[in-house]
Amino acid sequence: MALGTGAVLGIAAIGTGIYFLIESLGGDEEEAAPAPAPRIIVKQRPEQQPEATQDLGFPAFATKNTTRVAGVDPIADAAGVALAVFPSTGGVNEPAAVTLVRSDDWQGGLAAASLVAPPIGAPILIAGPNTIPDLTQDALRVLAPEGTAETGGRQVFRIGAAPAVGGVRSEDVKGSNPAEIAAAIDRLRQELTGKQPDHVLLASSDEPEFAMPAAAWAARSGDPVLFLRKEAAPKPTLEALKRHRGVPVYVLGPPSVISEKALAGVEKAASGVKRIGAEDPVQNAIAFARCLSCGGFGWDINDPGHGFVIATGSRPLDAAAAAPLSGSGSWGPLLLTDDRDEVPAPLRGYLLDLKPGYLDDPTRAVYNHVWVIGDEGAISVGFQAQVDDLAEAAPVSTRSGGRTAGPPGTPENEGSVPGKR
C-alpha cells in the first residue's frame, strides 16, 4: 500500500453507534485537492437518548472535562489518536514518520512509544498480522509522513513482523522476541538522536496490564522501554543496559510480576536500580503517576492542573495507541481501570486527591482534562460521567476555625484545598 491522497477514515464503535468520520477530498493523485479540516459526525443509539438529542453524541463523545477516542479496538484508537495529535491540515505540519506495529504485538507497541517523543515524533499505527487495515491505510494517507533528518529520512518504522508498506522509505526494526525488538528500538532511537537516554524503564513482557503505563512515559520522555521476564533478565535487555551503563534504571511492577531474582541479574549490568509499582494494575499505574521520591524521573503528579489518559487493562495495545496523547497537548500519565462501569476505588481516590478547587474565581483555577480510550464496550458512558465529575473544578468554602470544606459530597479537608497537599 503506497501513501496517497483521497482518504476516508471512519473509526467505528460497534454496538454503541458512536463513530468519527474524517474525510479528505477524493479523486486521483493528480487532481486531489488539499485535505480539509477533519469533520466529526457523532451518532447515538435512539434508545439511549431522546430522538431530539441522539445525533449530538454527548456525553459519549465528550463531556466538559473528558474526551473519548471511541475505537472499537486498538487499531481504530491508534488511527484516531494519530489524527488528533497530528491534524495534518490547515497548514499544520504532518509527522515526519509513523511507526507500524502488529495487532498481536503489544510489547512492540509499548517499546515503540519512545519513538513518539521529540525529536522523532512518530505516532503509532496498528496493522493486522498479514495485512494493513483500511483505517490504518487511510490514516497513513492523511498523515502523509515525508521523513526528515530526525527520522533518518524514514517515513515508516516497521516494528517486528509488521506488514510492509509500499512506496515509502521504511526502517525495519526486527527481533525474534520482545526483548530483542525492544533493544533494537532502543538502538534506533539512540542512533537517531545521537545521545544516551536520561533513564531506562524496565517492564514485564508477560503481564501487559502492569507494563501498559510505560508507553505513556516513553512517549513523554523518549526513555527506552526494555523487558524482563518474571524470574529472569533476557540477554538483549542486559546488553542494552550495558550500553547505557551509568544511566538510572527504573523497574515498573511489584515483585509478584518482576521478581527480586530478575532484578539481581539487572544489577550486574546496571547500577542504581529502583522499583516503582503496586500489587494490582490500577494501583500500579497510580504509583507510577505519583512517582514520589523518584529523583527527577517520572510524572510526579500529586496536584491538580494536569492531563490524564484512562484505558482498560484488558486492551494492552491501547496503551501504545494512546501514547501520543501523553507526549503532547496536556501531557499526562496513563491510568487504568479494571471495571467498565465504575471508577475503581483507588483511581477514584487519586482523582479526588487531584480535584481542582477555587476560592472565589473559577477562571483563575487550574483544570484537569481526561482522555478516555475505547468505545463503550471498553469503558461505559457512566464511567466517563463519573470521571468528568471527579475532574471538575469545585468551589471551596471557608468555615470558622480555619476549616475548609471540599466539593459537595466529599469529606471535609483540614485546612486544605481539594487537590492540594
Q: What pLDDT was estimated at residue 417?
A: 40
Considering only CA atoms, which of 176, 180, 206 is closest in space to residue 106? 206
Q: Quickly list DSSP for 274-318.
A: EEE--SSHHHHHHHHHH-TT-TT-S----SSS-EEEEEETT-THH
pLDDT in tens, 314-349: 999 999 999 999 999 999 999 999 999 999 999 999
Q: Is the pLDDT of residue 183 over 70?
A: yes
The proportion of the chain whose per-residue pLDDT surpasses 70, expressed as a percent, equals: 81
Q: How confident is the model at residue 10 (pLDDT cuts 50, 70, 90)?
A: very low
Q: What is the pLDDT averaged over residues 227-248?
A: 96
Of the listed ranges 71-80, 195-204, 386-395, 400-409, the least confidently predicted one is 400-409
The proportion of the chain whose per-residue pLDDT surpasses 90, expressed as a percent, equals: 76
Other C-beta atoms within 10 Å of 218: how many? 30
**261 to 58, 237, 247: CA distances (angstroms):** 50, 15, 21
253 neighbors 284 (Cβ within 8 angstroms): yes
C-alpha cell at 149: 533528518
pLDDT in tens, 251-297: 999 999 999 999 999 999 997 899 999 999 999 999 999 997 787 89
Q: Is the pLDDT of residue 34 over 70?
A: no
Q: What pLDDT was estimated at residue 296?
A: 83
Q: How confident is the model at residue 31 (pLDDT cuts 50, 70, 90)?
A: very low
Q: How confident is the model at residue 60 (pLDDT cuts 50, 70, 90)?
A: confident
Q: What pLDDT was estimated at residue 55?
A: 65
Distance CA 229, CA 257 (A): 8
Q: Is the pLDDT of residue 409 over 80?
A: no
Q: What pLDDT was estimated at residue 43?
A: 40
Q: What pLDDT was estimated at residue 1?
A: 52
Considering only CA atoms, which of 232, 127, 108, 233 is closest in space to residue 175? 108
**252 to 56, 301, 325: CA distances (angstroms):** 41, 17, 20
Domain parsing of the chain, residue ranges? 8-405
Q: Is the pLDDT of residue 102 over 80?
A: yes
Distance CA 86, CA 105 (A): 24
pTM (two decimals): 0.84
Q: What is the pLDDT averaged over residues 93-107?
A: 96
Q: What is the pLDDT averaged over residues 93-108?
A: 96
Q: What is the pLDDT averaged over residues 194-201?
A: 96
Of the listed ranges 21-25, 97-101, 286-290, the least confidently predicted one is 21-25
pLDDT in tens, 149-170: 999 999 999 999 999 999 999 9
Instruction: Say which DSSP state 34 is in.
Output: P
Q: How confident is the model at residue 181 (pLDDT cuts 50, 70, 90)?
A: very high
- Name the more confident of 10 and 25: 10
Question: How far from chain centre, in Å, is Cα 240?
Answer: 24
Q: How confident is the model at residue 412 (pLDDT cuts 50, 70, 90)?
A: very low
